[in-house]
Structure 1
């Protein structure tokens, strides 16, 4: 199929982009990497009247260290996230995103805004306690990642707002594990472990509409429990739904194992930490 007709606007600034979005009365969409948007347009699952291309807006890409966190520009490509060394957990997670062609075009801001439950970057954002920076006609605001994601493919962004970047705390220790049918496929389950300011955070993606903190697993670890027990606790907390890729019980079992593997990579719950 082909896309439905639309008007194309190449924005030269954030202010211009959000003004155009405001003037479309909800009929506009941001075009960045296009790795999620273009297939949806081709299937006519979305029919925006206006596409606002933000790729030429200056100062919206790059990775910069700022004390204990890293600022990620919204237009930073996944391939750049893999190559950077300031945030090793982010580099490892980005390595699992799709294939080389997708990583070359896909953007950090686009992945966060798309809010796919199976995506790696939303899970890392929640796992590290990221802050997402958003611009709109009324000005700029900052939103905790835990509050931004409200459902599968749903965020708290207004129709006239766009993500400009995010601040991602750098963990002292980290672990990442993902299970997919084949390399490059959407993840069935993703597990993120991050030690932030002395706290071990365990987050599971792909098994719920949004990435979820595994609070019981974290409690097990805080009490000195082993990784295997924390993995079981994380799995028992989940309420996934079955689909053609696997039953709810299957996803729950996979989640427990992925949490255990991520904890092992982080060196947490081994009895030596």
Structure 2
């Protein structure tokens, strides 16, 4: 398999990259890790006229942990973020992403922009209410140096459909922000795949916060593979703000199944995925509550 012809660009700074993207418009694609893009090119699912390789933009490799959360640059690899362990839910998710050889090259921000509803990281960003920073070239406009302006898009608005995001032609996703967790908060990620490293048939990440009496005061789950975009469900009311040991877990499963819209395919029927998502939601919320309780 060979990719369709394209013009290759290797900019050496952000301004140059954005200028090329602005000129390319909808016929431009960004190459960072390439673990999704290269197969799509070879199978001719994608056929850009311009391929913009940003791997020389070293400033985009940062992983910045602050009290408010973690900012991951566009060139930070899965494996680098996993080793840095800046956020517990990110680490739990990254351990489930493909295989080590893929994680050595693939990027966190690239996975978000790819917007595959069966991928782990979009669900993590969504359940945490994170955001993606998009940059574009705007000569003479106020903003960052060299006429670069940015906008931050919350996860709820960033994922617009299967393999579709809010990034517009000419824009480059330069970073993603994952908010920090409040005190007495636990996280968990559960998924079922046919083989380790495959895309999940269904998956759930959970964030659970306890109050001073160790009752569940907040609980959210992000669902993988059961909708056109990551499905986020607040299950706090389903937990009835009780201690984890007395929560009616069937209500948690029911609340999640009500929001899920799975499709069937050769790997699993829609009914099986709907069953799985409820079971995994129970397990993930239990695990997160246990971690929150210490």
TM-score (norm 1): 0.93
Q: Which residue of 2 aligns with 1:263?
A: 285
Query: Which structure: larger Rg?
Result: 2
Structure 1 residues 62-211: aligned runs within 5 Å: 62-138=62-138, 139-171=149-181, 172-195=185-208, 199-211=218-230
**SS at structure 2 position matched to 1:40:** helix
User: CA 1:196/1:84 → structure 2, altered by over 3 Å: closer, same or farther?
Assistant: farther
2:264 maps to 1:254: no
Which of 233, 236, 241 does residue 263 from structure 2 map onto? 241
Q: Residues of 1 paired with 2:162 and 2:240: CA distance?
A: 30
Q: CA RMSD in A?
A: 2.0
Q: Which residue of 2 aligns with 1:61?
A: 61
2:33 maps to 1:15: no
Deviation at residue 227 of structure 1 after TM alignment: 3.1
Q: Residues of 2 paired with 1:210 and 1:196: CA distance?
A: 25
Q: Which residue of 1 aligns with 2:41?
A: 41
**SS at structure 2 position matched to 1:60:** helix
Deviation at residue 269 of structure 1 after TM alignment: 12
Deviation at residue 232 of structure 1 after TM alignment: 2.6
Query: Any unmatched runs of 5+ in structure 1?
Result: none
Q: Deviations over 1:156-190 (max 9, x none)?
A: 11011111111111223111111111101011112
Query: Any unmatched runs of 5+ in structure 2?
Result: 139-148, 211-216
